Structure 1
Amino acid sequence: MPGLLSQVEQLLAPARQILTPVLSDPTVLVAWAAVVAVALGVLWWDIRARNEAIPSLMKFVWTLVVLYSGPFGLAIYWYSGRTQISGDSLWRRGLRSTAHCYSGCGAGEVVGFVLLAGVLALDSSLVVTAGTFGFAYLFGYALTVGPLMQEGVGFGEAMFDALYSETPSITVMEVTAIGTDLLLAGEATITEPLFWGALIFSLSVGYLAAFPVNVLLVEFGVKEGMKNPAEMGS
């Protein structure tokens, strides 16, 4: 396994050489924060002016998606999450399903890295990786189990449903996202711009990796892909 990881690291070394200077630049981070703030403003203006019919849970989901991925997240919402979409499709359902998973897992990843690698400054990459995975699964499952229990489903049944439907997506998302973060900023501390730049970048990489998995899960009926927002608007 160490040999395989070393080979992967060597294979991705050119990408790291290109990305690291960009993600380490404080000016880039400040500019990105401004872009994200604008994207969040557009999201909430659209929700309040045109899409109040969207359930509170999805408003929360889309807020986190745009917070993590800025205009990329806003584009996903615009294409798949508004009541004004021209028609639903497998791709839109897959995007919404991935967004739902992304919102919880992303929060877990941020909490894990900031707490373990940042605040506690743990030196063991194994502990940081395992702990961040744990937070990601916990937050991801909670975002599925909680709403199901609110609908009257028992905890055991809700947990089984979450394990069955969310585990493939969470696993692919977090292997990719955490692996990307460690590759780019494995030695960075919380006071370094690279720590935050790599964390932000890794979140979107995780979304892209999990999207085809969610499309397949929706296609084969393992996941429903979230309700068609166009039906709520009507």
Structure 2
Amino acid sequence: MDHSTHQHHHTGHAAPGGRGPSWRMAAQATLHCLTGCAIGEVLGMVIGTATGLHDAATVALSIALAFVFGYALTMRGVLRAGLAARQALKVALAADTVSIAVMELIDNTVVVSIPGAMDAGLSSALFWGSLAFSLALAFLVTTPLNRWMIGRGKGHAVVHAYH
């Protein structure tokens, strides 16, 4: 990317007053990422809990599905913008990998550390409450990270070129 493109890239995401990307933009990027993560995370936890998988297997399944659904949602948008599948995958990997990894680290650490949450069962308020709390906390932790990355032309900033 040449300097003029790079400069344009940043200014298109700056908050009023040139303070970098806005918190609103970072929150929207994080919410987009959280949507895919949450779909995969919840699906993995439900499948693992319903089938009686060991906690470690349930967490691994949740993480894998969070990445799959997170990347898929980003790819869907850039494929609609006309990118070939291979290029769309590259954009999704660049846009979402760090964000999803941080979210998964936070939300799985929280769920696993809440006593009884992993064994509570699908009909339990403890199970669903801990999962909702963990995803909300992941959002709060990841939003500043996404703001920082967008301000440097990384993360979700790479997707904005295709919207």
Normalising by structure 2, we get a TM-score of 0.79
- For the residues of structure 1 that align with 2:29 and 2:130, how far apart are their CA atoms? 24
Aligned to 1:128: 58
- For the residues of structure 1 that align with 2:79 and 2:58, how far apart are their CA atoms? 31
Aligned to 2:134: 202
Aligned to 2:70: 140
CA deviations 1:2-43 (Å, max 9, x no partner) are xxxxxxxxxxxxxxxxxxxxxxxxxxxxxxxxxxxxxxxxxx
Structure 1 stretches of 4+ moved >4 Å: none
Q: How does 1:111-190 map onto structure 2 within 5 Å?
A: 111-117=43-49, 119-122=50-53, 124-184=54-114, 185-190=117-122
- For the residues of structure 2 that align with 1:190 and 1:199, how far apart are their CA atoms? 11
Contact 1:96 1:225 in 2 (8 A): no
- Partner of 1:152, secondary structure, is coil
CA deviations 1:195-231 (Å, max 9, x no partner) are 111111111011112112101111001132887xxxx
- Partner of 1:156, secondary structure, is helix
CA deviations 1:100-149 (Å, max 9, x no partner) are 101111111111111112x2121x12111110001100110011001111
Q: How does 1:86-97 map onto structure 2 within 5 Å?
A: 89-97=21-29
1:213 aligns to 2:145 (yes or no)? yes
For structure 2, the 5+ residue unaligned runs are 1-15
Between the two proteins, the alignment pairs up a number of residues equal to: 140
For structure 1, the 5+ residue unaligned runs are 1-86, 228-234
Normalising by structure 1, we get a TM-score of 0.56
Change (3 A) 1:145 1:215: same
Contact 1:96 1:226 in 2 (8 A): no
- Partner of 2:97, secondary structure, is helix
Structure (1 or 2) with the larger CA radius of gyration: 1
Aligned to 2:157: 224
What is the CA distance between 1:186 and its match in structure 2?
Answer: 2.6
- For the residues of structure 2 that align with 1:226 and 1:92, how far apart are their CA atoms? 16
Contact 1:108 1:135 in 2 (8 A): yes
- For the residues of structure 1 that align with 2:151 and 2:112, how far apart are their CA atoms? 32
Q: CA RMSD in A?
A: 2.0
- 2:157 is matched by which residue type in structure 1? E
- For the residues of structure 1 that align with 2:122 and 2:29, how far apart are their CA atoms? 31
- Partner of 2:119, secondary structure, is coil
Contact 2:107 2:135 in 1 (8 A): yes
